[in-house]
Amino acid sequence: MTAPEEFAAEEFDGTEEVVVEIVEDGEGYAEGEYVEEELAFEPLGLDRPVQTVGRRKEAVVRVRMVPGSGNFELNGRTIEDYFPNKVHQQLVKSPLVLVERVENFDIYARLVGGGPSGQAGALRLAIARALIVVTPDDRPALKRAGFLTRDPRATERKKYGLKKARKAPQYSKR
């Protein structure tokens, strides 16, 4: 191909001549040797635990997911002991319920930082990420439900001159 600076503006019309050669004898191709492109990553056979991390607010959760019967062990306690609030329990189990694999995996998690709500959200994200590693076909459903999106909201810092992040002291005109 020629360099663009070799053409003057008036003589270059923006088209280029291309020669296409069609080979009819099938030269260069061997029959029966077509290899299908492989996936960028193969579904993981669960020969080892799947480990993922989830974060929300100040909470960080590390999850280990193994084939099992649906047990949750959160910092050495059951899900009912760790999250007495049913809303948090449902939030944590929602990715497994969506892909109908509640009874297929045991979840072992180490939760650090934050409060119950942040930890539940972080655990949900970590479980959803682990499910994708096991079965990548579940990704569209989990993405549509919003389970793969890391919630960026965090506590806003307090500013000087204000009582809280945005609350100003009472204004007096006189």
What does the pLDDT read at residue 106? 94
CA distance 119 to 83: 10
Mean per-residue pLDDT of the chain = 84
- In this predicted model, what pLDDT tens digit does every residue of 72-120 receive, in sequence order? 999 999 999 999 999 999 999 999 999 999 899 999 999 999 999 999 9
Instruction: Provide mean pLDDT across the span 12-28.
Output: 57
What does the buried/exposed string (b/e) look like for 2-17 if buried means 16 or more CB atoms within 10 Å of the residue's CB?
Answer: eeeeeeeeeeeeeeee
The alpha helices in 18-138, defined as continuous H runs, are 79-82, 86-98, 116-134
Rg (CA), the chain: 28
H helix or E strand, kind and range, residue 107: strand 105-112
What does the pLDDT read at residue 98? 94
> Is pTM, for the whole model, over 0.75?
no
Q: Give the side-chain half-sphere CA count within 13 A for 46.
A: 17
Q: Tell me the domain boundaries of the chain.
A: 50-145
User: 2 pLDDT band (50/70/90 cuts)?
Assistant: low
Which one is predicted more confidently, 84 or 38?
Answer: 84
Nearest Cα residue to 110 out of 49, 50, 59: 59
Interhelix angle for 116-134 vs 86-98, to 10°? 10
The alpha helices in the chain, defined as continuous H runs, are 79-82, 86-98, 116-134, 139-145
What does the pLDDT read at residue 38? 45
* Topology (CATH) of 50-145: Ribosomal Protein S5; domain 2 (3.30.230)
